[in-house]
Amino acid sequence: METKIKKNIDNPEQLEKLYRSDKKNFKNAFFNIYPNITDSKITAFWKARLEFVNQKDTKVISRKTDVLFLILTCLITWFLMKIPQLFDIKLNDYFFYEKNAGLIILLGLSTYLFLREKHINYKQLIISASVFIISAVYINLLPSDRDSHSINLAYIHLPLFLWCVYGLIFIDFDTKDKIKRIDYIKFNGDLAILVAIILIAGGILTGVTLELYSAIDLKIETFYSDYIVILGLVSSPIVATYIVKSFPSVTNKIAPIIASIFSPLVLITLTIYLISIVLTGKNPYNDRDFLFIFNLMLLGVMAIIVFSVSETSLNKKQGFNELILFLLSIITLLVDLIALSAIIYRLGEYGFTPNRIAVLGSNLLIFGNLVLIMIDLYKVRFKGKEIKTVELTIAKYLPLYTAWTIFMTFVLPFVFGLK
């Protein structure tokens, strides 16, 4: 790192990329070589910046206290998840997990973010707590009706809305700083990777544990699944958050590799899939289930594009990755156009329903976002623009998704009379 800093001391863009790729090592290396680079005009700026970061870091609690808060948050989240068993709630009559599972996990994640701050902003705490309380009361007052599509959509979109609230907490309610929004997207990508790793490791441990106890004729399957597995599932995103926050250099090395591997694979898979649709004669116009799967695929690919863009920006200019992302955005846009035409066709044939409004609105949002991303990626790949422009476009678009989740959660059920 020291050699790279010396080599690029007069290259502000590359220094920023080095810093964001591994902040801790950059900081240590910079101060180690500081006496030898004082001739550069940019050195004073970086010294002031890093010293300010050091001061800001003093707001974070000690590692030991952090671990204690981590354990406490995991246990509280686990307890809330066990409420139906502890209080004998009949899940056939009351949809506890449909209503509260996402809310509880995001509450745990938000609580942990507040606890790990040495100086809590109580105004932000009160606002956040109020939003979670209102959301919990609202969603639990809705009827438990599996036949109500609008209510089921509220169940689905409430966690998405609270994910936006969690994002506000993550960025310290600084809605004007677009870079912080991108940091939140990167954080979610890192979080998803670590949660997947934790769950895979947990699954292996569970299998080994059950086999070991089975070998000595002890049946612990029920106890293990009811308590240990549930604890592991609800704790995994909180533990992953601890790892991302405490050891950023670990995830900073893994995430870009995952992004660079998956982007071309997704591009190839999606291209072959579209060709297969034509060859098999399958279409989403008359097959509702196929249209649903089609939209899930679209959402997944969109998430991969956003994540890959944010991770590509951490590294030096990567022409191949930028080209792959540009082509992927074009293919995904074609997929979205097919989905939109199918939705509009079904609206004309069968009329408006909550589900059709949900897929139409989400597809229109994604379509608009994809068009802007595609245009920016074209400029990056063929006009020499920085990929940072794509990040800023994504950041500016995020409030539209927030507004949509609010509408779907709190407005749509009443538009359709809770049906």
Tokens 């408006």 correspond to 352
Compare 255 and 11 and report the one with higher pLDDT. Answer: 11
> Do 209 and 247 contact (CB within 8 A), yes or no?
no
The type of residue at 53 is V
Compare 116 and 135 and report the one with higher pLDDT. Answer: 135
Q: Quote the CA–CA distance of 267 and 325 in Å, as a whole number.
A: 8
Check whether 101 has a pLDDT greater than 90: yes
Report pLDDT for 410. Answer: 95
Q: What is the pLDDT of residues 336-361, one digit of tens each?
A: 888 888 888 888 888 888 988 988 89
pTM, full prediction? 0.79
Largest Cα span, the chain? 73
**For the residues of 168-229, what is the DSSP string, one character each?**
HHHTTT-TT-HHHHHHHHHHHHHHHHHHHHHHHHHHHHHHHHHHHHHHTT---HHHIIIIII
Q: Quote the CA–CA distance of 261 and 255 in Å, as a whole number.
A: 10
Q: Quote the CA–CA distance of 356 and 347 in Å, as a whole number.
A: 7
Report pLDDT for 58. Answer: 45
What is the rounded (10 degree) CA torsion for 138, 141, 145, 146? 40
Residue 142 tokens, joined:
């809705």
Tokens 């116009």 correspond to 285
> Do 248 and 23 contact (CB within 8 A), yes or no?
yes
- What is the mean pLDDT of the segment spanning 231-251? 87
CB-CB neighbours of 217 under 10 Å? 6
Report pLDDT for 405. Answer: 95
Q: Quote the CA–CA distance of 341 and 324 in Å, as a whole number.
A: 26
- What is the mean pLDDT of the segment spanning 17-28? 80
Compare 294 and 230 and report the one with higher pLDDT. Answer: 230
Which long-range contacts link 122-130 to residues 24+ away (Cβ below 8 Å)? 124/169, 124/172, 124/173, 127/173, 128/165, 128/168, 128/169
Domain ranges of the chain: 2-57, 63-246, 248-415
Q: What is the pLDDT of residues 179-204, one digit of tens each?
A: 788 888 888 888 888 899 999 999 99
Report pLDDT for 56. Answer: 45
Tokens 């569970």 correspond to 206
3-state secondary structure of 103: helix
* Average pLDDT of the chain to the nearest whole number: 84
305: Cβ–Cβ under 8 A, 6 or more apart, which residues? 263, 325, 328, 329, 332, 370, 373
Report pLDDT for 399. Answer: 93
Report pLDDT for 280. Answer: 75
- What is the mean pLDDT of the segment spanning 206-212? 91
297: Cβ–Cβ under 8 A, 6 or more apart, which residues? 270, 273, 335
307: Cβ–Cβ under 8 A, 6 or more apart, which residues? 185, 186, 188, 189, 192, 255, 259
Report pLDDT for 145. Answer: 84
Q: Which of 56-65, 146-155, 322-331 has the highest mean pLDDT?
A: 146-155
Check whether 71 has a pLDDT greater than 90: yes
